[in-house]
Chain A
């Protein structure tokens, strides 16, 4: 049994949600109850199985896992044939870099489905909605475990479809525009990414698409630096648009605002991380020299994103759009951490991804619940949440505090170390430049405090407006909301006090990812 799970465990975890999809396809759409039960059951089983799988983590890097796998099956590494002719193989693994993100995915999806139990957005059709959610689950898990560029590309793209339909069918009034914009932006990036993947494959002698193999081939080969920089550029487009980095961020506010609550949560909690994960998993380790050339530019765009996102937030009148813009700023910190090319910065980036996933995911949940009650998210019509729904108000308070990076909550450990890392970037990078970035990023935290506190003040404080004063629909947190929120809230607190929970896992992988930086 152990042998079998060592050999198939990750594959089972990734494809379990599709089993639920198959079952749901056979049931007519009128039976909403059974659809919800199956979807939730599948997500919980996947989560439980995945969590059990993750306990086998032994702080081994993918390289070490691959070496061990030569002699016998080890947990958390699987390698099998897929399409031999094009040298694509089904290589999947879990190491310290992907583990926190997989855990996040395994946690968030069931919570979102719990929330959906009585929140299927208009125009209904729980069957289709939950099927898409489970397909999305497989796509996200697959992207995080993939150790082969072809496999990574396939999963990276698979994620697009369900999200496109989720925004387009169940989204807000402007959903048609938002969904196509989301799709075309991402597709543009991934088309260029595909070209650069294949260029990399051709330049390394068409031996393998395995990430470790490619990194070795590049390190021992003699690809001209100019070519490497161009290949990195293609990847930058693919990952950078997904993150999204300034100036490719414009799809994000539209997609987030128009998406149904569940879609926004998944988008913020997991999908954005596919881009940043791509940088640290693929771009940096494989093309370290090009990364050094690109890092100042990435850092620059990151801090522009921080300031721009913050200023954008200050100008918003819609709560959901404000949270969306805050994502641009937060992902700027993550990218700044990555751009320093230090293990400190990468650790901060991974922590930042998880923290942003938890906090912004929560904020979108809250926004969804406010929308349910008030039927509007226009900030100036809201107010007095603490009077009418005190628990909801306090949860919003906690999450805004976490989002602005208050020490003791999870958000702090994503932002502060990233800023600190910019003080001392990796050897080949310009110290002066990154210190300037550091100062700008620090100013960004002040702006973040401003827009988040302002949001809290205008929505939670004060007295309810006449419009909503006696509205019977405005009630406090409901049971399904409690169940889906409590795990996130606990994690925000726990990770704030014990950040080592994540740093201990990611550290060795971060060091591993950077081992070729500045070698040449």
Chain B
């Protein structure tokens, strides 16, 4: 105690590498600027807020690119905050995701007559948490980042305040989220208790020599369960479909892509660094979690008639695939990391795209039912072609990007050369066939079946949505044909 007190009194400000911090700082400053502009301009500036927010996200991309160009790993705060290739790839992913979310939120929010300026400020705040999360290598900064991501999201989930379902979505999400945080915190406190430090690298080393296995197992279990809620792994997924359905659809996309990715980032950091020496404890747990998540997610998705709920369950199943390499990380740590990042990048493009189509089509159909997509071949062939690309990408059919994501996951599982890996690969292979059924079900509606309400006259997709669609379609196909994602994520492997 005394020693610690002395240390505190002799505190010197650690050296801060401003370049390494630049993306977060730009985002913070820009978010504040947008808030001030909104406060001063009120109604007059309201229509410029989405555009301004989007520009801010793109501005924050600049230091990400210069840091990538620089290439060196920057360690801040005694290893609690690290800016390496892994962090940079994901920062870039989050910023682009954020930009696309702003693009397709624009009309939705304005049309619904919601308080839209605050919505964008909250998106920016949540995104800031995500950027911090990519670099966090310390239990406390991970936790702070996670809360910074989640609290704005609780608010936004209940954004359509006159709609009961949206209220339900917000409340459910918050209660479950807080509950998960509490469990995770308990697990983290156990980790700190055993290791005596909050930095992941130190925890990793401490546990390699530690003999307190039961305590460690308990700590691992609680921490992972906490994250399992965040990434909606089965059996901790029950909040996701209700929240996704009730929340404003653009926010649902944000939750399903960005928020889930952030949960994965934390999980990957903690498991691969903090639990690096304890694979035999963590792996079986991740194996079961992965197999159950993908299977249950897919089986329930088969029954869904609401398209957003279906995408929610498909997202749950996709999380199962993403977790799979963590079941063999003891042997193929590098491959596990790069394959998961590859999956996250490709998943973001295709899932955001699918949500963009849902948002665009809902402007016309005013419905979230799968059947409302009927006859799209006649009333919007362009939208149908885009959705077909995303669906087949999600199903993992080349030449769309999804196949490469699956390929990398399978590759990591089989590279481990262990029976558990092979078994999980076969489970995933069978699952990908089940998943194809419900993705094809949407394709069937669009291509083969007539519209439920007779013929629609063709309609025009607004410019911002078109931009979001073009970005996601080009990325989804480009990733599948040129295979550039593994070329980038190759670098994330060796920290």
Where the two chains meet, the residues of A that have a C-beta atom closer than 8 Å to any C-beta of B are: 29, 82-86, 88, 125, 128, 150, 153-155, 157-158, 160-161, 164-165, 168-169, 175-176, 179-180, 183-184, 187-188, 191-192, 194-195, 198-199, 201-203, 206
B414 within 8 A of A: yes
22 intermolecular pairs with C-beta atoms under 8 Å apart: A29-B381, A83-B482, A83-B486, A84-B487, A85-B486, A86-B408, A128-B381, A154-B399, A161-B392, A161-B397, A165-B447, A168-B447, A168-B448, A169-B448, A184-B436, A187-B433, A188-B430, A191-B429, A191-B433, A198-B410, A201-B411, A203-B417
Given the interface pairs A158-B399, A199-B414, the reply to whether A175 lies near B436 with Cβ below 8 Å is: no
Q: A206 to chain B: which residues have CB within 8 Å?
A: 415
User: Is there a chain A Cβ closer than 8 Å to B115's Cβ?
Assistant: no
* Contacts A86-B486, A157-B397, A202-B411 known; 9 new A-B pairs at CB < 8 A: A83-B483, A83-B487, A86-B407, A86-B483, A153-B398, A155-B398, A165-B447, A176-B444, A187-B436
Contacts of A83 in B (CB 8 A): 404, 482-483, 486-487
Q: Which residues of B contact A168 (CB under 8 A)?
A: 444, 447-448
User: Nearest CB to that of B434 among chain A residues?
Assistant: A184
Q: Are B444 and A191 in contact (CB under 8 A)?
A: no
Q: Which residue in B381, B399, B422 is a CB contact (below 8 Å) of A199?
A: B422
Q: Does B426 contact A (CB under 8 A)?
A: yes
Neighbouring B residues of A125 by C-beta, 8 Å: 377
Known: A165-B447, A206-B415. A194 touches B398 (CB 8 A): no
Interfacial residues of chain B within 399-419, with CB under 8 A of chain A in the complex: 399, 403-404, 406-408, 410-411, 414-415, 417
A154 to B479, CA, bound (A): 13
Instruction: Give residues of chain B (447-466) contacting chain A, Cβ–Cβ below 8 Å.
Output: 447-448
Q: Which residue of B lies closest to A127 (CB)?
A: B381
* CB-contact partner of B429 in A128, A160, A194, A202, under 8 A: A194
A160 touches B397 (CB 8 A): yes
Which interface residue of B426, B429, B440, B486 has the most chain A CB atoms within 10 A? B429
Contact, CB under 8 Å: B403 / A157: yes
Residues of A near B403 (CB, < 8 A) are 154, 157
- Distance between A129 CB and nearest chain B CB, rounded to angstroms: 12
Residues of B within 8 A of A191 (CB): 429-430, 432-433
Which B residues, 356 to 401, have Cβ-Cβ distances below 8 Å to chain A?
377, 381, 392, 395, 397-399
Q: Report the Cα distance A383→B337, complex, angstroms.
A: 67
By beta carbon, the residue of chain A nearest B406 is: A194
Nearest CB to that of A29 among chain B residues? B381
Residue of B407, B447, B483 near A82 (CB, 8 A) is: B483
Distance of A351 Cα from B64 Cα, bound (Å)? 58
Q: Does B437 contact A (CB under 8 A)?
A: yes
Complex CA distance for A82 and B407, rounded to whole angstroms: 15
The reply on B191 being an interface residue by CB < 8 A is no
B425: interface (CB < 8 Å): yes
Known: A85-B486, A86-B483, A175-B448. A192 touches B429 (CB 8 A): yes
Complex Cα distance, B391 from A164, in Å, reads 14
Residue pair B437, A184 in contact (C-beta under 8 Å): yes
A161 to B397, CA, bound (A): 8
Most buried by B among A85, A168, A169, A179: A85
State the CA gap A253–B96 with chains docked (Å).
Answer: 47
Give A193's nearest chain B residue, CB to CB. Answer: B429
Given contacts A85-B486, A176-B448, contact A158 B398 (CB under 8 A): yes
Picked from B415, B433, B440, B487, the residue with its CB within 8 Å of the CB of A85 is B487
B205 CB within 8 Å of chain A: no
Instruction: Tell me the complex Cα distance, A128–B410, Å.
Output: 34
Chain B residues positioned under 8 Å from A154 (CB to CB): 398-399, 403
B242 CB-CB contact with A under 8 Å:
no
Contacts of A176 in B (CB 8 A): 444, 448
> With an 8 A cutoff between CB atoms, is B490 at the interface?
yes
Question: Within 8 Å CB of B440, what residues of A?
Answer: 164, 180, 183-184
Contacting A at CB under 8 A, from B297-356, are none
What is the minimal beta-carbon distance from A205 to any residue of chain B, in angstroms? 11
Question: Which residues of the partner chain B approach A180 to less than 8 Å between Cβ atoms?
Answer: 437, 440, 444
Minimal Cβ-Cβ distance residue in A for B432: A191
Partner of B414 from the list A150, A161, A183, A201 (CB cut-off 8 Å) is A201
- Chain A: minimal CB distance from B320 (Å): 15
Q: Lowest 3 CB-CB distances: which A-B pairs, in order?
A: A83-B483, A191-B429, A154-B398
Q: Which residues of the partner chain A approach B436 to less than 8 Å between Cβ atoms?
A: 183-184, 187
CA distance A39 to B407 in the complex (A): 33
For residue A176, give the distance in angstroms from its CB to the closest CB of chain B: 6
Q: Who on chain B is nearest to A188 by CB? A: B433
A169-B447, A176-B444 are contacts. A202–B415 as well, Cβ < 8 Å?
Answer: yes
**Chain B nearest CB, measured from A21 CB (Å):** 12
Q: Tell whether, in the assembled complex, residue A195 and residue B432 are in contact, meaning their CB atoms are under 8 Å apart.
A: no
Nearest-neighbour CB distance to chain B for A178, whole angstroms, equals 11
Report the Cα distance A141→B398, complex, angstroms.
Answer: 15
- A165 — which chain B residues lie within 8 A by C-beta? 447
Q: Are A195 and B410 in contact (CB under 8 A)?
A: yes
A157–B398 Cα gap in the complex (Å)?
A: 6
Q: How far is the CB of B392 from chain A (nearest CB, A)?
A: 6
Provide the bound-state CA to CA distance between A168 and B432, in Å.
Answer: 21
Instruction: Return the chain B residue nearest A196 by Cβ.
Output: B414
Q: Which residue of chain A lies nearest to B437 when distances are taken between CB atoms in the complex?
A: A184
| B143-165, CB < 8 A from A | none
Contacts of B487 in A (CB 8 A): 83-85
Query: How far, in Å, is B427 (CB) from chain A's closest CB?
Result: 10
Task: Report the Cα distance A396→B411, complex, angstroms.
Answer: 50
Cβ of A92 to closest chain B Cβ, rounded Å? 15
Q: How far is the CB of A166 from chain B (nearest CB, A)?
A: 10
Bound complex: CA A165 to CA B384 (Å)? 13
Nearest CB in chain A to that of B385: its residue: A25
Q: How far is the CA of A95 from the CA of B151 in the complex (A)?
A: 62
Known: A88-B483, A154-B399. A187 touches B432 (CB 8 A): yes
Q: Which residue of A lies closest to B422 (CB)?
A: A199
Closest chain-B Cβ to A121's Cβ sits at a distance in Å of 13
| Chain A residues closer than 8 Å to B414, beta-carbon distance | 195, 198-199, 201-202
B490–A192 contact, CB under 8 A? no
- Kindly state the separation between the CA atoms of A82 and B486 in the bound complex, as whole angstroms: 11
Smallest distance from the beta carbon of A91 to chain B beta carbons, Å?
Answer: 15
The residues of A that contact B447 with a CB separation of less than 8 Å are 165, 168-169
In the bound complex, how far is the Cα of B443 from the Cα of A221, in angstroms?
45
Cα distance, A99 to B482, chains bound together (Å): 27
A183 contact set on B, CB distance < 8 A: 436, 440
Q: Are B407 and A198 in contact (CB under 8 A)?
A: yes
